[in-house]
């Protein structure tokens, strides 16, 4: 499994899954969430409304993930995850780690071979991008080790996933992720 970081627009990535840093309502918002909804088209909002009506009437909890089709996106699927909001006192790094691991689990269940993540919770939710990079890359490396050993610390087998890409909007965010990727052997969620 290859892990990489690039600067760019997550909505244009040619991968099987893009991860949406959603809010718990699943009904769109600003930042990455708004960009993904705009690029996917109105069908994405309709699919999210159906999820709210049937499966998540109280909203998607922080740290969890759920998939919808990608509709107008190049990606076949969107995996929506709700990061912890530091401004609301949600400062538990294990919840942020769960956003990354649950998204990987859902991608594997879908049969995806590639996934692109934004810097979950690093925007309006107030997390320092260096912490997001440490946690996100740490989870990806645990999964990478699981590919080599055949299991990933109690997670479903990550076999089949060839690429984990972090797509960052700014040069500063890219730098934080590149620094974390350059630190060999660091498996620190």
Q: Which domains does the chain have, with CATH numbers?
A: 2-182 (3.40.220.10)
Q: What global pTM score does this model have?
A: 0.92
Mean residue pLDDT across the chain:
92
User: Over 90: is that where the pLDDT of 96 sits?
Assistant: yes
Q: Are the C-beta atoms of 82 and 51 separated by less than 8 Å? A: no
- Confidence band (pLDDT; 50, 70, 90) for 188? very low
Q: What is the pLDDT of residues 112-133, one digit of tens each?
A: 999 999 999 998 999 999 999 9
Residues that are catalytic: 33
State the Cα–Cα distance between residues 137 and 164, nearest whole angstrom: 9
Angle of helix 129-149 relative to helix 93-110, nearest 10 degrees, comes to 40
């Amino acid at each position: 499994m290859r892990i990489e970081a690039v600067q760019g627009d997550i909505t244009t990535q040619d991968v099987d899954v893009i991860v949406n840093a959603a809010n718990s309502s699943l009904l769109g918002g600003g930042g990455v969430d708004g960009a993904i909804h705009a690029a996917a088209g109105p069908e994405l909002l309709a699919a999210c409304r159906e999820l709210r009506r049937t499966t998540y009437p109280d909203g998607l909890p922080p740290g969890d993930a759920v998939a919808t089709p990608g509709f107008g996106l190049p990606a076949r699927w969107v995996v929506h995850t709700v990061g912890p909001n530091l401004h609301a006192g949600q400062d538990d790094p294990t919840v942020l780690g769960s956003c990354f691991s649950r998204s990987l689990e859902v991608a594997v269940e879908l049969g995806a071979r590639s996934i692109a993540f934004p810097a979950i919770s690093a925007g309006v939710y107030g997390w320092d991008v260096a912490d997001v990079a440490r946690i996100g890359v740490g989870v990806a490396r645990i999964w990478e080790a699981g590919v080599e050993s055949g299991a990933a610390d109690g997670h479903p087998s990550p076999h089949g996933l060839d690429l984990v890409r972090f797509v960052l909007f700014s040069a500063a965010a890219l730098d934080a992720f590149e620094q974390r990727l350059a630190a060999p052997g660091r498996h620190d969620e």
